[in-house]
Amino acid sequence: MAAEPPPTLQWREASSQVPPALVLLDQTLLPVEEVLRNCTDVETVAEAIESLRVRGAPAIGVAAAYGVALGAWHARGTGAGATTVSAAVARLGRTRPTAVNLFWALDCMQQALDAATGSSDDELYATLVAAAQRIDADDRRLCRLLGEHGAALLPDDATVLTHCNAGSLATAGWGTALGVIYAAVEQGKKVRVFADETRPLLQGARLTAWELQRRGIDVTVICDVAAASVLRDHRIDCVITGADRIAANGDVANKIGTYGVALMARAHDIPFYVAAPTSTVDLELASGDLIPIEERAAHEITEGFGRRTVPTGVNVYNPAFDVTPHHLVSAIITEHGVARMPYDSVLQTWGKAIPAIATGASR
C-alpha cells in the first residue's frame, strides 16, 4: 500500500515556546497543496469548520471538542473559566447545522465541564483536553470496527461507487464509507472505486481521489451526471456513502446528490449502503423531514474555484445536503454491525447505547 495521507487533525500540547493547538490539514487546498494549520483558539477552530478546512461529520465533532479545550486554555486566570467554556460550546455549535456529531461532541464536552465544577483553571483545562482526546480516540476505534463490519459486505473482487468524501479526511480515523474499503483491502480483497466528483466543491474529485490514490487503491473520478451510466455499464457491486445525520427511522442526510445516487442504485438493483458511527444517529428526529439542511453561499456555485460560471444576478440555490429516505437504503453499517430494514428498533437500541464518553465511559 502507498504512503498514507498526513493526519487530518492532531492535538499539539503546550510547551514553554508555543500554546496548545489543534493542527489541521487544510482541505480547501487539496489536492494541490498539503498545508497544516495551527488553530490556537476557539474562533480559528470555528472558522476552520465553517470554511471547510476541516469537514466530515466525525472530524467536525472531534475538532469542536478540541476547540472547547482551547477555550479553557485562554480562560485561565480570568476567573470566568466555566462561563468562557460554555460560550465556546455555544460558538462552535453555530458553525454548521446538519452534522449531528458536532452537537453530540459538544454535549460530551459540556458534561465534562459540568463534572469539573469547582476545579482550578489548570484542572479544568486538563479535564477538557482529556475529554477531547477520548472523543478523538473513540472515533478512531469506531472507524476500524465499522470498516470491519462493512468489509464483509464486499466480494473478494469488488467495484464500489461512492459520493463525496467519507474517508480519513472526514474522521479522526480511517473513515466510514472509505473505512469499509480500507478494511476490505487489509483483508486481501481487491477493490476498485468510482468516485463522483461531488459538485459544487468537488470533495470526491479533490479529496476522495487524493486519499485513495495515496493509499494505493484503484480510483476513477466521474462527473456526477455520469453516475447512472456507470451504475448501468460497469458492474458496480454496491454504492457506499457516509452520513451527516441519520433520523430514528433510518432516513439519511448526506452530501447533496446522495439522494439521486440512491435512486439510481435502486433503479439498477444495486445495494446502497450507508456507513456511519452511532453518534450520527439522531433519535430525537423521527424522520429525515426534520433534519436541518445547511444552505451555503452562492459563490460556491457561481465562482466555485475562482472563475465565474453563472451570470451575475441569477438566483442560486445551494443546499449542502439532501435526505435519502430509508426505503432506498439497503443497510446501515455502524460500529455495532450491519442493520437492515426496518431500522427503527435497531437504531433505537444502538443509539441509546452511546454513553457520555467525555466523562470516561467507553462504548
- Please pick, among 244, 251, 282, 322, the residue that the annotation labels catalytic: 244
- Beta-carbon contacts of 3 under 8 Å, excluding residues fewer than 6 positions away, are 214
Q: Cell numbers 515556546 correspond to what residue?
A: 17
- List, in order, residues 6 or more apart from 237 with CB less than 8 Å away: 154, 155, 158, 159, 160, 270, 271
Grid cell in block for residue 269 = 438493483
Class of 149-359 per CATH? alpha beta
**Block residue for cell numbers 478546512:** 53
Which grid coordinates belong to 89? 460550546
The C-alpha cell at 135 is: 472523543
Number of neighbours of residue 209 by Cβ within 10 angstroms: 22
Q: Domain map of the chain by residue range?
A: 9-143, 149-359
Cβ proximity of 38 and 12 under 8 Å: yes
DSSP 288: G
Residue type, 309: T
Of the options 1.10.10.10, 2.40.128.690, 1.10.357.10, 1.20.120.420, the CATH number for the domain spanning 9-143: 1.20.120.420
> In what side-by-side order are the strands of the sheet with 218-222?
218-222, 190-196, 157-162, 238-241, 272-275, 331-334, 337-339
Per-residue pLDDT tens, the chain, 363 aa: give them: 467 788 999 999 999 889 999 999 999 999 999 999 999 999 999 999 999 999 999 999 999 999 999 999 999 999 888 999 999 999 999 999 999 999 999 999 999 999 998 899 999 999 999 999 999 999 999 999 999 999 999 999 999 999 999 999 999 999 999 999 999 999 999 999 999 999 999 999 999 999 999 999 999 999 999 999 999 998 999 999 999 999 999 999 999 999 999 999 999 999 999 999 999 999 999 999 999 999 999 999 999 888 899 999 999 999 999 999 999 999 999 999 999 999 999 999 887 665 555 445 444
Q: Is 118 left (phi over 0), alpha (psi -120 to 50) or beta?
A: left
**C-alpha separations of 43 from 71, 88, 90 in Å:** 9, 9, 12
Tell me whether residue 244 is one of the annotated catalytic residues: yes
